[in-house]
Amino acid sequence: MITVKDHSTGYLFDPWDHISPKRRKLLDKSWPGVFRKYLLEKLPVAKIVHYFTEDMGRPSKELYTAIGVLMLQQLQDISDDKVTDELAFNIAWHYALDITDGSDASMYISERTVRKYRQLVIKEGLDGILFNTLTDTLIKEFQVDTSKQRLDSTHIQSNMRNLGRIRIFAVTIKKFLKKLARTHAEEYSCLQLEFIQRYLGKDSESCFSRVKPSEAAKTLDQVSTDLCFLIESFRAYESICSLPEYKLLERVLREQCTVVDTGGKAQVTVKPPKEVSTDSLQNPSDPDASYDAHKGQGFQVQIMETYQTEKQDGKIPNLITHVEVEPAHVHDSHALQPAIDDTAQRDCCPDELLCDTLYGSEDNIQKAQGKGVTVIAPMPGNTPKEGFSLADFTCDPATQFVTQCPQGYHPQKTYRTRKNRLCANFPKETCLACQRHIDCPVQLGKKAAYLHYDDEMLRHAQRRAHEETPEFRNKYRWRSGIEGTNSHLKSDVGAARLRVRGLPAVRFAATLKALGLNILRCAQALAARFLLYIAQLCLKKQLLKYKFSALWSSNLFLTEMTDFYLVA
Task: Tell me the HSE value of 402 on the side-chain side, using a 13 A CA sphere.
Answer: 32
Closest by CA to 233, choosing from 284, 176, 281, is 176
What is the per-residue pLDDT for 157? 95
Q: Domain boundary residue among 471, 486, 506?
A: 471
Residue 547's pLDDT band, with cuts at 50, 70 and 90, is: very low
For residue 559, pLDDT over 70 is answered with no
Could you report the per-residue pLDDT of 11-33, keeping only the tens digit for each?
Answer: 888 888 888 888 998 898 899 99
Residue 545's pLDDT band, with cuts at 50, 70 and 90, is: very low
Range of the domain at 404: 390-471
What is the per-residue pLDDT for 539? 66
For residue 231, pLDDT over 50 is answered with yes
Q: How many CB atoms lie within 10 A of CB 146?
A: 19
Could you tell me what percent of the chain has a pLDDT over 70?
Answer: 91
What is the per-residue pLDDT for 18? 87
Query: Residue 339 falls within a domain, yes or no?
Result: no
Distance, in Å, from the CA atom of 361 to the CA atom of 379, rounded to the nearest integer, reads 7
Could you tell me what percent of the chain has a pLDDT over 90?
Answer: 56
What is the β-pairing status of strands 290-292 and 296-306? antiparallel
Could you report the per-residue pLDDT of 387-402, keeping only the tens digit for each?
Answer: 788 888 888 888 889 8
Distance, in Å, from the CA atom of 117 to the CA atom of 67, rounded to the nearest integer, reads 7
Highest mean pLDDT among 4-18, 171-185, 416-430: 171-185
Average of per-residue pLDDT across 104-109: 92
Could you report the per-residue pLDDT of 371-388, keeping only the tens digit for each?
Answer: 999 999 998 776 666 778
Please state, in angstroms and as integers, the Cα–Cα distance from residue 532 to each residue in 141, 397, 553, 560, following that order. Answer: 18, 51, 18, 13
Distance, in Å, from the CA atom of 70 to the CA atom of 508, rounded to the nearest integer, reads 10
Same domain, 206 and 111: no
Average of per-residue pLDDT across 91-105: 92
Q: Domain boundary residue among 61, 92, 124?
A: 124
Residue 53's pLDDT band, with cuts at 50, 70 and 90, is: confident
| 12-35 exposure pattern, b = at least 16 Cβ within 10 A, e = fewer | eeeebeebebeebbbbbbbbbbbb
Average of per-residue pLDDT across 290-316: 90
Write down the mean pLDDT value for the chain: 88
Same domain, 113 and 224: no
Query: Residue 381 falls within a domain, yes or no?
Result: no
Q: Which residues are bridge partners to 427 per DSSP?
A: 448
Query: Residue 411 falls within a domain, yes or no?
Result: yes
DSSP 336-369: HHHHHHHHHHTT---SEEE--GGG--HHHHHHHH
Could you report the per-residue pLDDT of 205-227, keeping only the tens digit for each?
Answer: 666 767 778 888 888 999 999 99
Same domain, 62 and 179: no
Q: What angle do CA 380, 382, 371 make, to 5 degrees?
A: 15
Could you report the per-residue pLDDT of 116-162, keeping only the tens digit for each?
Answer: 999 999 999 999 999 999 999 999 999 999 999 999 999 999 999 99
Look up residue 264 and give its DSSP letter. Answer: T
For residue 317, pLDDT over 90 is answered with yes
Query: Residue 417 falls within a domain, yes or no?
Result: yes
Q: What angle do CA 295, 300, 302 make, to 5 degrees?
A: 130
Same domain, 171 and 258: yes
What is the per-residue pLDDT for 107? 93
Task: Tell me the HSE value of 72 on the side-chain side, using a 13 A CA sphere.
Answer: 29
Whether 325 contacts 154, CB under 8 Å: no
For residue 125, give the amino acid letter: G
Highest mean pLDDT among 14-28, 47-61, 82-96, 249-263: 82-96
Q: Domain boundary residue among 456, 471, 486?
A: 471
Query: Residue 558 falls within a domain, yes or no?
Result: no
Please tell me whether residue 506 adopts helix, strand or coil conformation: helix
Query: Residue 44 falls within a domain, yes or no?
Result: yes
Query: Residue 103 falls within a domain, yes or no?
Result: yes
Residue 44's pLDDT band, with cuts at 50, 70 and 90, is: very high
Same domain, 3 and 115: yes
Distance, in Å, from the CA atom of 183 to the CA atom of 157, rounded to the nearest integer, reads 31
Same domain, 119 and 1: yes
Same domain, 14 and 80: yes
Q: How many domains does the chain have?
A: 3
Distance, in Å, from the CA atom of 67 to the CA atom of 48, rounded to the nearest integer, reads 10
Query: Residue 244 falls within a domain, yes or no?
Result: yes
* Alpha helix (H) residue ranges in 152-215: 165-183, 185-188, 193-200, 204-209
User: Is the pTM higher than 0.75?
Assistant: yes
Average of per-residue pLDDT across 266-286: 91
* Alpha helix (H) residue ranges in 155-306: 165-183, 185-188, 193-200, 204-209, 216-233, 238-241, 244-256
